Amino acid sequence: MTTLAPETAAPARTPRRGPGRPRNEDIDAQVLAAVLELIDDKEEVTAARIVSRSGVSRAALYRRWPSLTTLVAAALDVGRYVPPPIPTDGNLRDAIMEAILGTPLEGDNAGYPEERFRQRIRLAMADRTLQKAYWASHVSRRRAPIVDALRAGIERGGFRAGLDPEACFDLIAGVFYYQLVVRGERMDEPQTMERCRAAVDVAWRGMAAEQ
Amino acid sequence: MTTLAPETAAPARTPRRGPGRPRNEDIDAQVLAAVLELIDDKEEVTAARIVSRSGVSRAALYRRWPSLTTLVAAALDVGRYVPPPIPTDGNLRDAIMEAILGTPLEGDNAGYPEERFRQRIRLAMADRTLQKAYWASHVSRRRAPIVDALRAGIERGGFRAGLDPEACFDLIAGVFYYQLVVRGERMDEPQTMERCRAAVDVAWRGMAAEQ
């Protein structure tokens, strides 16, 4: 799962937009849906299978994604979103919980089923290149608004001086991953959420500025 | 990967110890080594393959492990150990760091290679039954001495009253898992350890009793 390199170079084509030609976004969506189908079916993701499932040509794939790894990373992120910048005068704690869980805490997380999360971790552990690509292109972008808000809180004095906002984010996010990856719990179990809230409370107190 | 059920019931055999017959511990070690070889080679773990690699009979497997899941869980724990009870007057923080990292912080972690950790997570994410079995039979036992020490600290007043020691352990352990599972970092990278120490420091302050 490294490159999408064709056996022979793809012929250069001038994109042409005819009346029946699907728009670019439609093609992207078709391809991403095909990749997710393969992942959800626990099939190995290959360029040939994507072409076959999506009906999109190999050449069109090459024009859109530089490698199979970046395409798989993009597919794994479908249904997840980058939270907007966090107003630092709002409830930062709730915003962090929400950003980590990917949807409002009251939501049913339907946009990102747990089984896909498990598949994502499985693929990442099998392929560090994919893991690093997904981190660089997706996870780190999704963290940024929260890390920025933590940094602002440290600079403005709500949190202790000298805190590392990246380490604080890892601490808080880590307790959620621990539930899913080590304990094998579901986030909709009340006692799991209760444990996470108790842990975030500890982290929050540890971050707070001394009075 | 659920049961080790034979196609036909294994014939009852009276274990007999002849002069050349290997001791039980040797047989266990042979089987566990064979399972680890399969895992390290990224081959599917089946009873037939274990029999073939280990030279141990299918019947002998059945006598030792009730299911393939429990056998795989046992194999994944080879090289890891349950820390001894933690003296609560010692440096609890260092003891926790050491227990989480599995070896002294100065060690090279040779007893449990990172690639096996990645394979373990991969197998757990592919099979929740294995994940839960490994949690119940191994992870929860390895946590116990630390969780007990945290509980003692809460009862004796070193930590805040009302803390959940399980949630505190999850918080601290989670930041290490986050490095390995999400960031794709190696624990021997100085900046990774630095980030973990900074995060544990935050957790520790959050747990500390108010003066």
- Measured CA to CA, the distance from residue A164 to residue B77 in angstroms comes to 33
- Residue A10 pLDDT exceeds 50: no
Cα angle B3, B8, B11 (rounded to 5 degrees) comes to 105
Q: How far is CA A21 from the centre of its chain?
A: 31
Higher pLDDT, B106 or A180: A180
Higher pLDDT, A20 or B70: B70
Q: What residues of B are in contact with residue A168 (Cβ under 8 Å)? A: 199, 202
In-domain check, residue B87: no
Look at residue B104 in the predicted model and tell me its pLDDT.
42
Q: Which residue has the tokens 């490698």?
A: A67
Question: With an 8 Å Cβ cutoff, are A170 and B178 in contact?
Answer: yes
Question: With an 8 Å Cβ cutoff, are A207 and B202 in contact?
Answer: yes
Q: Is residue B72 a contact partner of residue B108, using CB atoms and an 8 Å limit?
A: no
Same domain, A105 and A33: no
pLDDT tens-place string over residues A87-127: 877 778 887 777 777 654 433 455 678 888 999 999 999 99
Interface residue ranges in chain A relative to chain B, Cβ cutoff 8 Å: 42, 118-119, 121-122, 124-126, 128, 131-132, 135, 139, 163-164, 166-168, 170-171, 173-179, 181-184, 195-196, 198-199, 201-207
- Measured CA to CA, the distance from residue A120 to residue A77 in angstroms comes to 9
Look at residue B19 in the predicted model and tell me its pLDDT.
58
Look at residue A21 in the predicted model and tell me its pLDDT.
60
In-domain check, residue A190: yes
- Measured CA to CA, the distance from residue A116 to residue A76 in angstroms comes to 8
Q: How far is B75 from chain A (nearest CA, A)?
A: 17
Cα angle B68, B3, B128 (rounded to 5 degrees) comes to 80
Q: Find, among B14, B169, B170, the residue nearest to A185 by Cα.
A: B170
Same domain, A176 and A98: yes
Same domain, B102 and B7: no
Could you report the predicted ipTM of this complex, rounded to two decimals?
0.84
Same domain, B122 and B72: no
- Number of structural domains in chain B: 2
Residue in B119, B128, B168 nearest the CB of A184: B128
- Structural domain boundaries enclosing B133: 92-207
Q: Which of A52, A76, A100 is the last residue of a domain?
A: A76
Q: Is residue A67 a contact partner of residue A2, using CB atoms and an 8 Å limit?
A: yes
Other C-beta atoms lying within 10 Å of the C-beta of residue B6: 13
Q: How far is CA B119 from the centre of its chain?
A: 12
Q: Which residue, among B43, B121, B125, would best test binding to A if mutated, counting the most A CBs under 10 Å from its CB?
A: B125
Question: With an 8 Å Cβ cutoff, are A125 and B122 in contact?
Answer: yes
In-domain check, residue B86: no
Torsion of the alpha carbons at A89, A90, A92 and A94, rounded to the nearest 10? 170
Other C-beta atoms lying within 10 Å of the C-beta of residue A192: 17
Question: With an 8 Å Cβ cutoff, are A125 and B132 in contact?
Answer: no
Q: Which of B48, B76, B104 is the last residue of a domain?
A: B76
Same domain, A194 and A135: yes
Question: With an 8 Å Cβ cutoff, are A167 and B206 in contact?
Answer: no
Torsion of the alpha carbons at A86, A87, A90 and A96, rounded to the nearest 10? 10
In-domain check, residue A67: yes
Q: Is residue A70 a contact partner of residue A127, using CB atoms and an 8 Å limit?
A: no
Question: With an 8 Å Cβ cutoff, are A202 and B203 in contact?
Answer: yes
Look at residue A9 in the predicted model and tell me its pLDDT.
37
Q: Which residues pair with A159 in a beta bridge?
A: A208
- Residue A84 pLDDT exceeds 60: yes
Higher pLDDT, B126 or A211: B126
Same domain, B102 and B171: yes
Mean pLDDT of A36-40: 92
Mean pLDDT of A23-43: 90
Q: How far is A32 from chain B (nearest CA, A)?
A: 22
Mean pLDDT of A71-78: 91
Which residues, at least 6 apart from B41, have a Cβ–Cβ distance to it below 8 Å? none
Question: With an 8 Å Cβ cutoff, are B125 and A125 in contact?
Answer: yes
Could you give phi then psi for residue B42, rounded to 5 degrees?
Answer: 55, 35
Q: How far is CA A65 from the centre of its chain?
A: 17
pLDDT tens-place string over residues A135-177: 999 999 989 999 998 998 888 888 999 999 999 999 999 999 9
- Measured CA to CA, the distance from residue B85 to residue B77 in angstroms comes to 19
Could you give phi then psi for residue A208, rounded to 5 degrees?
Answer: -60, 145
Question: With an 8 Å Cβ cutoff, are A171 and B122 in contact?
Answer: no
Q: Is residue A142 a contact partner of residue A80, using CB atoms and an 8 Å limit?
A: yes
- Measured CA to CA, the distance from residue A3 to residue A130 in angstroms comes to 11
Is the backbone of residue B38 left (phi > 0), alpha (psi -120 to 50) or beta? alpha
Same domain, B71 and B98: no
In-domain check, residue A51: yes
Using DSSP's 3-state secondary structure scheme, residue A17 falls into: coil
Same domain, B109 and B62: no
- Walk along chain B (211 residues) and give the pLDDT tens digit of each residue: 444 443 333 344 444 445 566 677 889 999 999 999 999 888 889 999 999 999 999 999 989 999 999 999 999 988 887 888 888 777 788 877 777 776 544 334 556 788 889 999 999 999 999 999 999 999 999 899 999 989 988 888 889 999 999 999 999 999 999 999 999 999 889 999 999 999 999 999 999 987 5
- Measured CA to CA, the distance from residue B182 to residue B159 in angstroms comes to 30
Q: How far is B16 from chain A (nearest CA, A)?
A: 40
Residue in B135, B183, B202 nearest the CB of A171: B202
Question: With an 8 Å Cβ cutoff, are A178 and B179 in contact?
Answer: no
Q: Find, among A109, A27, A92, A94, the residue nearest to A60 by Cα.
A: A27
Band (A190; pLDDT cuts 50, 70, 90): very high
List, as one string, the DSSP characters of A127-186. -HHHHHHHIIIIIHHHHHHHHHHHHHHHHHTSB-TT--HHHHHHHHHHHHHIIIIII---
The enclosing domain of B136 has a CATH number of 1.10.357.10
Question: With an 8 Å Cβ cutoff, are A135 and B183 in contact?
Answer: yes
- Residue A22 pLDDT exceeds 70: no
Q: Which of A76, A102, A123 is the last residue of a domain?
A: A76
Higher pLDDT, A18 or A159: A159
Size of interface A-B (CB pairs under 8 A): 140
Q: Find, among B123, B100, B108, the residue nearest to B173 by Cα.
A: B100
Handedness of CA A109, A115, A118, A120 (dihedral sign): negative
Question: With an 8 Å Cβ cutoff, are B173 and A173 in contact?
Answer: no
Same domain, A163 and A96: yes
Q: Is residue B160 a contact partner of residue B209, using CB atoms and an 8 Å limit?
A: yes
Look at residue A183 in the predicted model and tell me its pLDDT.
97
Q: What residues of A are in contact with residue B170 (Cβ under 8 Å)? A: 175, 178-179, 183, 195-196, 199
